[in-house]
Amino acid sequence: MGHRAAIVGAGHTRFGALEDGPRRLLRTAIDAAFASVERGADRALVHEAFLATIGFGGWQLGNVAAVLGEEAGLSGVPASRIENACASGGFAARAGVRAAQGEPGLVLVAGLEKMTDVSSARRRYWLGVSGDTEWERAAGLTFAGVYGLIASRYVADHPRAADALVEVAVKNHANGALNPNAHFPKAVTAEAVRAAPRVAEPLGLYDCCPVSDGAVALLLAAPEEARSFTDSPVYIDGVGAGTDALAVQERPELTRFGATRWAVDAALRQARVDRSAISFLEVHDCFTIAELLALEDLGFAESGEAAAMTLDGATARGGRLPVNPDGGLKAKGHPIGASGVSQLYEGFLQLRGAAGRRQVPGAERALAHNVGGAGATATVTVLSAG
């Protein structure tokens, strides 16, 4: 099996409504990533950098990759901003893996969003610019509405789905309660989930991820160089990506994300492993319905079976296939550009056995799944302990 790149260091800010602005968040995550490299990492070794962000902080629309260089102490290093909405992080990591291959030194991949600085009207703008504007948003839908449509169809087709949506929220909050970086580090009851105000029926407040600030940074190296930085690198063995029609109304099926299916096939093919080798999943649960779709699109559940799998406890932390042990976007938070990178951070901790109270016992291989918008873009990354 060939490793494509190695994660040799990683840093993560807390997720939530934070005082720090985007520059300080970036610096905090990047400094932590460098500090985490056991044998030390000279910043001069970085030869390329990628920043995943959609709105930066709501005011610096263009050219923000330059800020990444400034805050990382890397001025002069080529840096690019990668933007694919909520999948920006996954796509930035994919670019980082490609840059790391066959070149000595380090690649910096950072994900950032600062969402709570702006008014709620502008925040809804930033949350909405990545869906189809002309046909879906102009019909009165934000992402919650688009996922509400999808959920209405899934619930109509699968009788246990309504209960499973509640269980996804309960499970991910239980996991998030063990994650000190989580935006909502607390458990919720099924009753509270059911009683919450409806945002876009059938989805209620607890079916929706929060609006969060946060930043995450990874340091990648070519696999053959990894052990010069650390004794316990985590390897990236496959990174698949895919796209689909921007508007959900133009896709053949409402409850299948073709981009995810394309991405997972490519990732598993590159990694040359099959699904039975995966210890746990990090999936893109921006809304509870998205976790059920992910289990099916990723091939871990047959069509319509994700509800039963969830209700049977298979996806709980102690289950057969733990899903989102860090709390997921749902409880950990969803700073848009940072989320895909944060999933890989969780893989880095878990596969080194460093996830503390939320450690998945014996985790050897992880699969991370990052979605942009309502399935228009997606990445899937396969990680191993090497």
Partner 1 sequence: MVEIRGAAAYVPRSTDGDRRVGDPDEDEFTMLATAIERLEDGIEPLGGIGPVVVVGTIAFGAADNVARFLGSPSPIECVGRGPEAFSAALEKLSSGVSAHESALLLAVDRDPGTTGDPGDRGLSHAAIAIWLGGGGANPVATDAFRSAAPSSTGPAFAWAASTAAARVPRWGDWRYDGRAGTRSLPAPAASAPGGATVSQGAYVPWPRYLEATNAHWRLIAAECGACGALTFPPRGRCRACESTDPGRSVRLARDGGRVIASTRIGAGGQPTEFDEQVTAYGPYSVVLVEFAAGVRATLPVALGSGDPPAIGGTVTTRLRRRYPIDGEWRYGRKALVPDPPARGTEGS
Q: Where on the chain is the footprint of partner 1 (CB under 8 A)?
A: 121-122, 124-125, 128, 133-142, 144-145, 148-153, 156, 197-203, 247-250, 252, 254
Closest CA to 130 of 247, 286, 211: 247
Out of 3, 173, 284, 334, the active site residue is 334
Rounded Cα distance, 88 and 226, in Å: 25
Rounded Cα distance, 330 and 325, in Å: 11
Rounded Cα distance, 331 and 21, in Å: 22
Rounded Cα distance, 261 and 251, in Å: 14
Least distance to partner 1, CB of residue 6, Å: 40
Q: Quick check: is 47 catalytic?
A: no
Peptide bond just before 180 cis, omega within 30 deg: no
Q: Indicate the DSSP class of residue 21.
A: -
Per the listing, tokens 């409504």 go with 17
Least distance to partner 1, CB of residue 247, Å: 8
Rounded Cα distance, 18 and 161, in Å: 35
Least distance to partner 1, CB of residue 336, Å: 16
Least distance to partner 1, CB of residue 118, Å: 10
Q: Which is nearer to partner 1, 208 or 216 (CB)?
A: 208
Rounded Cα distance, 220 and 324, in Å: 23
Q: Which is nearer to partner 1, 197 or 318 (CB)?
A: 197
Say if CB 212 and CB 113 are below 8 A apart.
yes
Q: Which is nearer to partner 1, 147 or 229 (CB)?
A: 147
Q: Quick check: is 209 catalytic?
A: no
What count of Cα atoms within 13 Å lies in the side-chain half-sphere of residue 56? 15
SS3 content of the chain, % helix, strand, coil (to 5): 40, 20, 40
Which two tokens mark 372? 């942009």
Out of 3, 86, 158, 209, the active site residue is 86
Q: Which is nearer to partner 1, 146 or 263 (CB)?
A: 146
Least distance to partner 1, CB of residue 123, Å: 9
Q: Which is nearer to partner 1, 62 or 252 (CB)?
A: 252
Positions annotated as catalytic residues are: 86, 334
